[in-house]
Structure 1
């Protein structure tokens, strides 16, 4: 099969019908698609093949999707979209904490899924190849955020490449210092979708960012909570 799109998607899903549906979606969109029904050799495939995006079911036999997400993030910056069921809210939150970039819920909306995958692949591959530029750095109180490569650097010069969601959340807050942003605004910036009351992904990522910034959650310095309204970046930009 000739692939109009050079990007490679690996689908990890044990349910045959769901896997076949996902393969069909992406192959019809011109992607190169590989599929496996378990995650036992996932890490080896990531090491030996060029894969741009992993669509990873949470409820896999053997190593589950959350374990695999954690292991993937130790060695790879590949894009990760978790595939979840409607009742998997806690697992979705944990998955985002472990470094997944996004999630989709069964049953899928094919158009939405393709748009999410396309946007994530573009961001991951584009930012991985861009050289660092001085004007892409946002500096605040000894810290810096490299917008071209999603790199957060601390005052002691330790550097961490942020997952897509965390980067977009921090970047959105930093570029609007002193302004309270609602969860709906932040959710739209992160996932291009509206926030719903039972969706805690914004709060989870705020918690992760606070830990990475050394913020005391009981008395944060950089990211403040406006109770009932949202969050605000209170640091001083250099």
Structure 2
């Protein structure tokens, strides 16, 4: 069976100049799937780069700069989850995991180790391209927002810097975060004292594009709580509002 439910190609969105086209790295060991995905990405306006293993990926990243990684889970040698964990430890590059596993637990594991999004096979090619564009748009918007709103924000002794995209704890130690976690925390900091629904948070950090199930937001909130709450089991900074969403409780100041 094809991994695609639909072979329709999305019209290119990046047509200003070939040099400006985002570079997408596909890590997939199946030659047929790799060829189909490469064709879809190329015809949708991206520069598609393809490798079949972690070793080949490392060699390519040593000489190329890429904007997003589409990462299959089942790979020879080092598997996709291990690769994802390693990439996330080194950078905030957007990562989409592609897997034949459709169980929620596999999706959650991928998100917990740092993936920004998840697509299960078989999938619609339009959906994959839309998710890639949403992640790239969020990254671009984040850079533009950081340029326009360069001041640091402070809450409960913590500092978050939109320009450098860094979070520091009250002792000044930098705390590692994924791109989604950072954008989500930044959204909370810019909306203190307001109940934000999951739908609104998806608009702020996913460009309005929901995941396989909307509650993926909960996974990211849980990861943020593990990093900033004194007791993540009894959170004081990010409160859950029954049937409402989440409330960021501390006062936030620009510094």
In the superposition, the TM-score normalised over structure 1's length comes to 0.84
Q: Deviations over 1:27-70 (max 9, x none)?
A: 11332221122223323332332122111012223221110001
Superposition pairs for residues 66-215 of structure 1, below 5 Å? 66-85=81-100, 87-124=102-139, 135-160=150-175, 162-191=177-206, 192-194=208-210, 199-215=214-230
In the alignment, the residues of structure 2 paired with residue 43 and residue 13 of structure 1 have an alpha-carbon distance, to the nearest angstrom, of 14
In structure 1, the partner of 2:10 is: none
In structure 1, the partner of 2:71 is: 56
In the alignment, the residues of structure 1 paired with residue 54 and residue 175 of structure 2 have an alpha-carbon distance, to the nearest angstrom, of 26
In the alignment, the residues of structure 1 paired with residue 150 and residue 65 of structure 2 have an alpha-carbon distance, to the nearest angstrom, of 31
What SS class does the counterpart of residue 49 from structure 2 fall into? Answer: strand
Where structure 2 has 5 or more consecutive residues not aligned to the other structure, the ranges are 1-16
In the superposition, the TM-score normalised over structure 2's length comes to 0.79
**Does residue 47 of the first structure (1) align with residue 62 of the second (2)?**
yes
Q: Deviations over 1:108-130 (max 9, x none)?
A: 33333223323433544676799
In the alignment, the residues of structure 1 paired with residue 83 and residue 101 of structure 2 have an alpha-carbon distance, to the nearest angstrom, of 20
What SS class does the counterpart of residue 48 from structure 1 fall into? Answer: coil
Alignment RMSD: 2.8
Q: Give the superposition deviation at 1:4.
A: 5.6
Distance 1:203 1:55, change over 3 A: same
**Does residue 34 of the first structure (1) align with residue 59 of the second (2)?**
no
What SS class does the counterpart of residue 219 from structure 1 fall into? Answer: coil
Distance 1:87 1:154, change over 3 A: same
In the alignment, the residues of structure 1 paired with residue 239 and residue 131 of structure 2 have an alpha-carbon distance, to the nearest angstrom, of 29
In the alignment, the residues of structure 2 paired with residue 54 and residue 231 of structure 1 have an alpha-carbon distance, to the nearest angstrom, of 30
In the alignment, the residues of structure 1 paired with residue 68 and residue 233 of structure 2 have an alpha-carbon distance, to the nearest angstrom, of 36
Q: Deviations over 1:192-218 (max 9, x none)?
A: 22477x554212111110111133122
In structure 2, the partner of 1:18 is: 33
Distance 1:158 1:129, change over 3 A: farther
Count of paired positions? 236
